[in-house]
Chain A
Amino acid sequence: MGSIIIINIVRFIIVILLQVALFKNMGYYNVATIYPYIFFIFLLPIGLPNLVLFLVSFLTGLAVDAFYDSAGVHASACVGLALFRIFFHKITLEVDLKESFNTPSLGLMGTKWFLSYVFFGTFVHHFFLFLIEAFTFSNFMYTLASSILSSIFTTCIILLMSLLVYKRKSRIGNI
């Protein structure tokens, strides 16, 4: 239990540092920007109580906001991602896994599950993010297009990151 907390704190620091020092400077004009810091929220333990999950996501978003000068924008997007995560877990996971404190990593969950988890989660996050950043429904198609492009971009980076820390220990077989 203690080690899970420490691992998550270390992961939080690494991910935020990478985001503000490296990925903040990357992007294709205004069309596609990447926010792989949400990898941290994807990898939080499965059985985390809802309140804690929302609180941690909110604080993560706020920490990134501080560097992006955009109080609240990333925080709200991360809260949206946390809600998606809860629904996705509720629909796809079995009961015994749902109550464990395992990290939902690529090695544990299998490629198919992990890929759809990351892609749809990233899309939800980016959609919230761009919509709140623009704060209007005019230019909706532009917002939608840039969130789709950016989520493809971010998903690739997150997959690369998870391959870097890949450790095979599948509990539920190959799916």
Chain B
Amino acid sequence: MRNLWLFLIRYNAIFWFILFFVTSIILVVRHNNFQRSSFISSSNVVIGSYYQQVNSWKSYLSLHETNEELAAENGALRQQIQNLLQVDTTADTIRIIDSIEQGRYAFIVANVANNSVHKKNNYLTLDKGSADGVEKGMGVITSNGVVGVILQTSAHFSSVQSLLHPDTRVSVVLDSTGVIGSLVWGNSIDHRYGVVRDIPNHVQVEKDEKVYTSGFSLFPAGIQVGKIMETGVSSGESFLDLKIELSTNFSNLHHVYVVKDLLIKEKEELEADSENNG
């Protein structure tokens, strides 16, 4: 007994090390399993409000760029209104816009309170939470691209799993051929590029072709995601890997829109039904 006691005292550093190290590894693993459900995360009110404070200064510095972006977006929207207003008298069919489809998505404007691009798993924090109607699983877009998916919400903040995360997949469609693939980050290093997977080998892909969201996942159809940089990077199977340049500038995000799909419940119920009966 005395020898055991002496042994413990002599090597106490090792035992303390094991104790603390195991504690922190448990923290890490829990964190990976429950996806940031732990108390220590930036949804936490104190840390969240710190980041909001810092961000209010940062956004002040880039007012000029933000202004220009918003003006460009205004221009694009105005253009769309023009197209809708034009009545095509030569056509023998009249284009009817379905009011259900129009009202399907609602957008919640949010500011980015925290952002990262340098890590292997990147997350963002937004300054809108469940009090503003943000829910887990909603998509997040910016004026010119896709940002990510809401991972978790608190009352006034929400955390977003960025597109720059190995687990994020977005269903996309190629502009010219209409072939559907899935967009992932892929390289884990550079935040400017992504990879489109699952394009069949026989499809002819052109350089500089644009890539849009397909509307199958959380995002509305037709949001630009990026343009193709390299074609035919084969992964050694019967599918092509396309390297694309993302249109979202992840290093400079300020205003984003959270996409609320109003009919998501109906869609999911129907799909669950057909899966059970089929």
Residues of A49-103 contacting chain B, CB below 8 A: 50-51, 54-55, 57-58, 61-62, 65-67, 69-73, 75-76, 79-80, 82-83, 86-87
CA distance A67 to B40 in the complex (A): 9
- A137 interface contact, C-beta 8 A: no
Nearest B residue to A55 via CB reads B20
**Contact A66–B44 (Cβ < 8 Å):** yes
- B168 interface contact, C-beta 8 A: no
**Contact B189–A29 (Cβ < 8 Å):** yes
- B267 interface contact, C-beta 8 A: no
Residues of chain A within 8 A (CB-CB) of B41 are: 66, 69, 71
- B7 interface contact, C-beta 8 A: no
Residues of chain A within 8 A (CB-CB) of B23 are: 58, 75
Chain A's nearest CB lies how many Å from the CB of B112? Answer: 14
**Contact A33–B118 (Cβ < 8 Å):** yes
Interface residues on A, range: 20 to 34
**Contact A51–B16 (Cβ < 8 Å):** yes
Stretch of A1-9, A104-112, A127-135, A158-166 lying at the B interface: A127-135
Residues of chain B within 8 A (CB-CB) of A174 are: none
Give chain A's interface secondary structure class. helix
**Contact A29–B25 (Cβ < 8 Å):** no
Residues of chain A within 8 A (CB-CB) of B16 are: 50-51, 54
Residues of chain B within 8 A (CB-CB) of A73 are: 24, 28
Partner of B120, one of A54, A67, A83, A133: A133
CA distance A128 to B42 in the complex (A): 23
**Contact B54–A72 (Cβ < 8 Å):** no
CA distance A66 to B45 in the complex (A): 11
Given A30-B189, A71-B31, A79-B21, CB of A50 within 8 Å of CB of B119: no
Kindly count the residue-residue contacts between A and B in the assembled complex, taking CB atoms under 8 Å apart: 93
Nearest A residue to B51 via CB reads A67
**Contact B54–A21 (Cβ < 8 Å):** yes
CA distance A27 to B120 in the complex (A): 13
**Contact A132–B28 (Cβ < 8 Å):** yes
Given A72-B25, A72-B28, A73-B28, CB of A50 within 8 Å of CB of B13: yes
CA distance A99 to B31 in the complex (A): 39
Interface residues on B, range: 35 or more
Residues of chain A within 8 A (CB-CB) of B189 are: 29-31
- B60 interface contact, C-beta 8 A: no
Nearest B residue to A74 via CB reads B24
**Contact A66–B32 (Cβ < 8 Å):** no
Residues of B158-194 contacting chain A, CB below 8 A: 159, 188-191
**Contact B24–A75 (Cβ < 8 Å):** yes
**Can you list 21 A-B pairs, Cβ within 8 angstroms, ordered by A?**
A29-B118, A29-B189, A30-B189, A31-B189, A54-B17, A54-B19, A62-B40, A69-B116, A69-B159, A71-B30, A72-B25, A72-B30, A73-B24, A75-B20, A76-B21, A76-B28, A82-B17, A82-B20, A83-B13, A132-B28, A133-B119
* 7 interchain residue pairs of minimum CB distance: A72-B27, A76-B24, A72-B28, A75-B24, A71-B31, A79-B20, A83-B17
Residues of A within 8 A of B (CB): 21, 27, 29-31, 33, 50-51, 54-55, 57-58, 61-62, 65-67, 69-73, 75-76, 79-80, 82-83, 86-87, 132-135
A72-B26, A82-B20, A83-B13 are known; give 8 further A-B pairs, CB within 8 A.
A29-B118, A33-B118, A66-B41, A69-B36, A71-B30, A72-B24, A133-B120, A134-B120
